[in-house]
Amino acid sequence: MASTEGSAHSNPTHTQFTQPSSNSNTESNSPNPFLLRASENPGNILVTQPLLGMKNYQSWSRAMVLALTTKKKIGFVNEKISMPNIDSPLYEDWESFNTMVLSWLINSMHFDVSSSIMYCETAREMWIELQNLFSQGNGPKIYNLQREISHISQNQMSVTEYYSKFKKL
């Protein structure tokens, strides 16, 4: 476990980290959540399909979790990397990377979606807002999906096509 000096939070369930060294903008295998890789910038689009709303929220959310996990930035949305005190020497780095994650989220949404949540202050706040907006249970939709699944038949489809359609439903 990293030193607790300069830790962002004293709760052991949250990531604890040491203050970044002066070369924190170089690539390494360090667990430092404030590591900036050469390929990371606010203009990156992390997922291929933009969030359109409720119709693709689940698949978009899964793709975004995978992308953020790969970049070691998932802690900004699941709150394992919590905001340090404003007077902490880590605050400026946290704020910079929180803004980077916010940019990645916004860049992966259709304008109609992003315009409604654009002013969230933290990546965590935006993630929760998206969950609240789009992961609501939908009784009629569930009924229709169950009905479609019960009526699906292979007909002229190949086994692969049939399986893919079934899995999609």
Domain ranges of the chain: 1-136, 139-168
pTM of structure: 0.62
First to last CA, the chain: 43
Using the predicted structure, report yes or no on whether residue 123 has a pLDDT greater than 50.
yes
Query: According to the model, what pLDDT value does residue 102 have?
Result: 93
Query: According to the model, what pLDDT value does residue 145 have?
Result: 77
Using the predicted structure, report yes or no on whether residue 154 has a pLDDT greater than 80.
yes
More confident residue, 107 or 6: 107
| Residue among 133, 124, 107 nearest 44 (CA) | 107
Question: How does residue 36 score in pLDDT terms, banded at 50, 70 and 90?
Answer: low
Query: According to the model, what pLDDT value does residue 12 have?
Result: 36
Q: How far apart are CA 40 and CA 76, in angstroms?
A: 15
